[in-house]
Amino acid sequence: MAVRVAEEWLHSCSGCEIAILNIGEPLVELLSKLEFVHIPVLMDNKYFGQLGDKEHLEIPEADVGIVSGGCANEEHKEILEEMRKKCKILIALGTCATHGGLPALINSWGTEAAFDEAFSTTTTDEGAQVPTQGVPKPLDRVYALDEIVDIDLLVPGCPPNPAHIAGAITALLEGKEVQLPTKSVCDTCPTIRKGKGDIKEVKRFTTNAAFDPEKGVEEMQCLLEQGFMCMGPVTAAGCAKRGAPSCISARVPCRGCYGPVLNKGNQMLDMMNALASNGIDFTSVVDRKNLLRFSGAHNKLR
């Protein structure tokens, strides 16, 4: 019998859903073993019945539930709680779902500030009020899903790696344990490390890295050793698709989009420690809160 799957997206950008599609042709094969009962991006199942005449929001029962995005308003919360109630296994997909992700940057101010700013920009009509009719009330801040309900599996990444999504679904279909990376980006990075150098400060990425374009990433010196702020040491591995972490393969330093290496870790504090232990002045980091760019939920950014 096909495995029933429900999918939802909350405070999200749809990148996780595109990552699901990026499984590519194997997805067509997987689809024959899955029965989607709810997935708003692809399918017309409605919350209040197909004619919109039911009183309560309802999502069909499913074996596996997948939720992307964090939780930032009353509607998100209601949907998330309904997903938890109806799904035997609930997966938090993507770094917004696991750690708040980029939208949790607003937690430094609180969600109200986002609305006040958006409705008072230069092009917005003067005197505009923040809308309140027929739109969900925001929560005070952006939450990771496990702050609201119990989550069975965390699959981080911004976007998550399609191979992990396919691997997780396949493992669940076969009743096996889901395997996800446990190392750091640095542990999986093939660049050359020469050991502690004479770097005293980290610099902004306003010049390109030094590398020979004809040669692979494995012949480029570590970007942190080149003096660039790179969050590889404090970021969970998993982004590598062709032998090197994604950003490094584009010769660009890591910014931490898979969240902390240990689920409860703090990327900002861990990075400060990593810099200090290498004799690098951590006050040379221009915008320290930015190091929690992807993991500001769980009260880390406030």
Q: Which of residues 257-286 bind another protein (CB under 8 A)?
A: 257, 286
For the CB of residue 270, give the shortest distance to another protein in the complex, in Å: 19
DSSP output for 22-46: TT-HHHHHHHTTEEEEE-TTT----
Cα separation, 251 vs 61, in Å, equals 45
Site for another protein in 87-106 (CB under 8 A): 101-103, 105-106
Site for another protein in 153-192 (CB under 8 A): 158-159
Q: Which stretch binds another protein (CB under 8 A): 21-29, 144-152, 173-181, 261-269?
A: 21-29
CB-based contacts of 210, cutoff 8 Å, min separation 6: 220, 221, 226
Q: What strands, in cross-sheet order, belong to the sheet with 34-38?
A: 34-38, 3-9, 62-68, 87-93, 153-155
247 is a site residue for another protein (CB under 8 A): yes
Nearer to another protein, 31 or 192 (CB): 31
Site for another protein in 203-242 (CB under 8 A): 204-209, 211, 213-214, 241-242
Nearer to another protein, 16 or 222 (CB): 16
Region for 256 from its dihedrals, namely left if φ exceeds 0, alpha if ψ lies in -120 to 50, beta otherwise:
left
Choosing from 1, 44, 150, 175, the residue that interacts with another protein (CB under 8 A) is 44
For the CB of residue 286, give the shortest distance to another protein in the complex, in Å: 5
> In the chain, what is the straight-line distance between the N-terminal and C-terminal CA atoms, in Å?
47
Q: Which stretch binds another protein (CB under 8 A): 37-45, 80-88, 185-193, 264-272?
A: 37-45
For the CB of residue 196, give the shortest distance to another protein in the complex, in Å: 26
243 is a site residue for another protein (CB under 8 A): no
Choosing from 170, 249, 278, 284, the residue that interacts with another protein (CB under 8 A) is 249
Task: Supply 90's token pair.
Answer: 């609930």
Size of the site for another protein (CB under 8 A): 90
Task: Confirm if 159 and 102 have CB atoms less than 8 A apart.
Answer: no
**Radius of gyration of the chain, Cα coordinates, nearest whole angstrom:** 21
For the CB of residue 273, give the shortest distance to another protein in the complex, in Å: 22
Nearer to another protein, 101 or 238 (CB): 101
113 is a site residue for another protein (CB under 8 A): yes
Site for another protein in 127-146 (CB under 8 A): 128-129, 131-136, 138
Produce one character per residue of 57-69: b if its CB has 16 or more CB atoms within 10 Å, e if not: ebbeebbbbbbbb
The H or E element that residue 5 is part of is: strand 3-9
